[in-house]
Amino acid sequence: MADLKLTGVEKTYGGAVNVLNNINLDITKGELIVFVGPSGCGKSTLLRMIAGLESITGGTLEIDGEVVNNVPPAQRGIAMVFQSYALYPHMTVRDNMAFALKLAKKPQAEIDASIAKASRILQLDDYLDRLPKALSGGQRQRVAIGRSIVRDPKVYLFDEPLSNLDAGLRVATRIEIAQLKESMPNSTMIYVTHDQVEAMTLATRIVVLANKGIAQVGTPLELYERPENEFVAQFIGSPSMNLLTGKITETGDITTVTLDGGGTAKSAVPTQAADKGLQVNVGVRPEDMIAVDSDPLFSGTVNFSEALGEVTLLYFKTPGSDASIIAKLPGIHIDTRGKELHFNADPKKVQIFHNAKSLYYR
């Protein structure tokens, strides 16, 4: 298992198209790091650069203290699991898992022991003599993971491994990957996904990529509770965090913001020094909106609602904007469309942003 260090890593195509710029990241042995970000942000490209499948234009990549920029993929001690499984259709599960070890001319006894260990971890003992076509999508992905485990790599790389599975299998396989990590606590894993649930439930730390670089790195709860900028605030969490404009009118232990659309927001989140009159955005997550009868942070008429069973999403039109304010209330709330409702929020969960950056004092 290995530590990784990326210093000033860049990726440019054709000398003109810059995809990633100044990526600095330390990954500690035993972590499960998840890369997330919008489509086209470069998360899969970064993973392929670590694997050696894409060249590094600038900066350095170190694995256990050794710069590996020019080291061939096969010599980096890395195993990669792709979203397409990439299994040999004419080979049994056993032979698929053994293939790389046979190419490396490992003794048969060592191959058998490695397959037995991997199949036990992944609960594949009953499928070793089957062909891939006789397996479900989730079982095929477990075989692909098993093929990596038998190689005992320094680093495991997962490139959106669950994207080809239906919703039910995604949940089951995500749990299996979490259990796999628990059974291999010293394994270093890097995982790319566009699914926030996967990121929040699997990651030791999440790396949010945007605008050709890193927007924030932190534990799932750090990113959820204390986003450093508006992009992370709205990218992490579903539905996205509501942002309302206003001006600071009181400072101190409680920061008071008078909102442009009416209403007053109070934040007890420790903030950097800020002057009265400063134009800011107030961030409140939909699940933190609390229905009240008076003294609201926000009032609005329900434009649309979605009853999802355990929760109901209420959408409010923002004056002078195409954006919606969303409240996420527990339970089922029917016949709310067209009604005016009032909301407040716990000051400890109200964020304040200036020039798209959080004013949270660290």
Interatomic CA distance for residues 58 and 321, integer angstroms = 42
Instruction: Please give the C-alpha separations between residue 279 and each of 245, 258, 269, 351, in angstroms, as whole numbers.
Output: 7, 10, 17, 14
Distance of CA 3 to the CA centre of its chain: 20
pLDDT at residue 346 in the model: 94
pLDDT at residue 180 in the model: 84
Q: Which CATH superfamily is domain 4-234 in?
A: P-loop containing nucleotide triphosphate hydrolases (3.40.50.300)
Contacts of 154 (CB under 8 A, 6+ apart): 1, 2, 63, 64, 76, 77, 78, 188
Q: What is the pLDDT along the chain (362 residues), one digit of tens a residue?
A: 689 999 999 999 987 789 999 999 999 999 999 999 998 899 999 999 999 999 999 999 999 999 999 999 989 999 988 877 788 899 999 999 999 888 888 999 999 999 998 888 888 899 999 999 999 888 888 898 888 888 888 899 999 888 877 888 788 888 888 888 888 888 899 999 988 889 999 999 999 999 999 999 999 999 999 999 999 999 999 999 999 999 999 998 899 999 987 889 999 988 888 889 999 999 999 999 999 988 888 888 899 999 998 999 999 987 656 668 999 999 988 888 888 899 999 999 999 999 999 988 66
Interatomic CA distance for residues 268 and 247, integer angstroms = 16
Query: What are the extents of the domains in the chain?
Result: 4-234, 238-358
Domain 238-358 falls in which CATH fold?
A: OB fold (Dihydrolipoamide Acetyltransferase, E2P) (2.40.50)
Q: Which of 348, 355, 354, 43 is nearest to 226 (CA)?
A: 348
Residue listed under structure tokens 């053994």:
98
pLDDT at residue 84 in the model: 78
pLDDT at residue 319 in the model: 62
pLDDT at residue 362 in the model: 62
Strand order in the sheet with 58-63: 17-27, 4-13, 58-63, 66-67
Model pTM score: 0.90
pLDDT at residue 1 in the model: 65
What's the CA angle centered on 176, arms 116 and 30, to 5 degrees?
80
Enumerate the β-bridge partners of residue 344. 290
